[in-house]
């Protein structure tokens, strides 16, 4: 918890934290064993075979050298493989958020964290989340690389400029937990901290509805889509009889055929690039007519547009 007293081991506030700690303790066991073994042997030999000790037998027995070499190659090698397998499977299984996770948009900048909840609620440097529900953060930076770290959840991921990063957790304990920026980002890096407030789901709902009412990102995205006249070219029946730009229904999460002949998965980074640099990857059958929107939409508006475009897809959970 924030403002906790002195401790030697971090608090666990997710089921994942307990799993990481199990591996951490195993590693500590292995390390302690080998440290004690090596240090113990050094001290033991140093005392027993000190130069002043003339009584000790120093005749060397020959022939075990190779067996010893092989044993201290093979045994540490096997232990390493166990650690690798364990940590890799934990990392791999915890990589993707489960379906139905609450999606929260995060924009980082020097030196603050901006969060937006699905109903449009915004907050800075404090993130309220419900206990017992998976929460997925979609994160981007407006400037340099930052990194979002919640030690009690054992989660961390860099927040890059120019592309989206994701991180998810499912808190199993209410309370306030530290949130740190862990990628050095300039002068006030150490002030780019905040807290995650984990609440009972009912309290979270009450908190959400109690805040200042904002447009939800999907609604804001739809409004932007119209304000920026995207609909003119991208929506059938709005402008010309023949669409000059690809329709956006069921695009997100599906493969798109490009003019170059290659295919690309229409994920958030692809859609973002297509808004900012439309000529980078042009859909087959269309001309590169679209102007760039670089400089006309900020990171938060881009995220809202993407949430809206995602909502046009029947398979929005696909990534």
Binding residues for other proteins restricted to 52-111, rule: CB under 8 A: 56-60, 65, 68-69, 72-73, 76-77, 80-81, 83-84, 86-88, 90-92, 94-95, 110
Residues 153-172 contacting other proteins, CB under 8 A: 154-158, 160-163, 165
Q: Which is nearer to other proteins, 43 or 213 (CB)?
A: 43
Q: Which is nearer to other proteins, 96 or 229 (CB)?
A: 96
Of 180, 199, 194, 177, nearest in space to 3 by CA: 177
Shortest Å, Cβ 267 to other proteins: 13
* Residue 258 to residue 261: CA distance in whole angstroms: 5
Q: Binding residue for other proteins (CB under 8 A) from 10, 118, 175, 253?
A: 10
The conformation of residue 210, written as its DSSP 8-state character, comes to H
Other beta carbons less than 10 A from residue 165's beta carbon = 20
Which H/E stretch holds residue 140? Answer: strand 135-141
Shortest Å, Cβ 314 to other proteins: 27
Q: Binding residue for other proteins (CB under 8 A) from 18, 100, 122, 191?
A: 191
Shortest Å, Cβ 142 to other proteins: 10
* Residue 14 to residue 173: CA distance in whole angstroms: 7
Q: Which is nearer to other proteins, 24 or 270 (CB)?
A: 24
Shortest Å, Cβ 297 to other proteins: 14
How far from 99 is each of 22, 102, 133, 318, CA to CA, in Å? 26, 9, 11, 9
Q: Which is nearer to other proteins, 282 or 312 (CB)?
A: 282
Q: Does 132 bind other proteins (CB under 8 A)?
A: no
Residues in the chain: 319
Contact between 108 and 142 (Cβ < 8 Å): yes
Shortest Å, Cβ 233 to other proteins: 25
* Residue 256 to residue 266: CA distance in whole angstroms: 6
């Amino acid at each position: 918890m924030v403002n906790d007293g002195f401790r030697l081991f971090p608090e666990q506030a997710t089921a994942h934290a307990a799993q990481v700690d199990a591996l951490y303790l195993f590693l500590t066991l292995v390390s302690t064993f080998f440290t004690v073994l090596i240090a113990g042997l050094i001290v033991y030999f140093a005392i027993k075979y000190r130069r002043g000790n003339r009584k000790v037998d120093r005749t060397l027995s020959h022939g075990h050298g190779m067996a010893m070499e092989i044993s201290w190659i093979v045994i540490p090698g096997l232990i390493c493989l166990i650690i690798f397998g364990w940590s890799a499977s934990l990392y791999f299984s915890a990589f993707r958020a489960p379906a139905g996770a609450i999606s929260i948009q995060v924009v980082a900048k020097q030196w603050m964290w901006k969060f937006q909840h699905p109903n449009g609620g915004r907050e800075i440097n404090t993130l309220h989340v419900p206990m017992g529900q998976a929460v997925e953060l979609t994160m981007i930076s407006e400037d340099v690389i930052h990194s979002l770290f919640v030690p009690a959840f054992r989660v961390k991921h860099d927040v890059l400029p120019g592309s989206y990063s994701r991180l998810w957790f499912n808190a199993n304990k209410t309370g306030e937990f530290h949130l740190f920026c862990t990628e050095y980002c300039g002068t006030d890096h150490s002030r780019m901290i905040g807290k995650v407030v984990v609440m009972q789901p009912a309290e979270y709902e009450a908190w959400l509805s109690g805040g200042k009412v904002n447009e939800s990102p999907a609604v804001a995205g739809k409004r932007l889509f119209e304000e920026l006249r995207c609909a003119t070219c991208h929506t059938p029946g709005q402008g010309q009889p023949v669409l000059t730009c690809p329709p956006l229904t069921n695009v997100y999460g599906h493969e798109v055929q490009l003019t170059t002949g290659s295919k690309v998965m229409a994920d958030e980074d692809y859609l973002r690039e297509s808004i900012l640099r439309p000529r980078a990857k042009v859909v087959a059958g269309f001309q590169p007519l679209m102007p760039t929107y670089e400089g006309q939409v900020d990171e938060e508006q881009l995220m809202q547009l993407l949430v809206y475009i995602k909502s046009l897809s029947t398979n929005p959970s696909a990534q």
